Amino acid sequence: MKLIVDRLEGNIAVCETEDKKMLNIPVSEFESCPVDGDVIEYDNKKAMILDEETKRRKKAAEELFRKLLKK
């Protein structure tokens, strides 16, 4: 299941699912410490950060923001 890290609250990563629900995942289930906006794959109590997908998503958000500023 793919999720987006919304925020960290102590040792919990609060993540948004594709159907806009929130899921709390212990940071200990990640390979490395997540940050806000990371796209992750979560399966069987293992969370893996998808670096390339995270970069694409952040780049698309930056481009949209730049377009909004031009108008």
Check whether 71 has a pLDDT greater than 70.
no
- Per DSSP, the three-state class of 15 is strand
Average pLDDT estimate for 55-63: 96
Chain centroid, CA 57 distance in Å? 10
pLDDT number for residue 25: 96
Q: What is the number of domains present in the chain?
A: 1
CATH code at position 26: 2.30.30
Tens digit of each residue's pLDDT (9 = 90 or more) over 6-57? 999 999 999 999 999 999 999 999 999 999 999 999 998 899 999 999 999 9
pLDDT band at 70, cuts 50/70/90?
A: confident
CA–CA dist 45, 28 (Å, integer):
10
- Give me the domain span that covers residue 48: 2-70
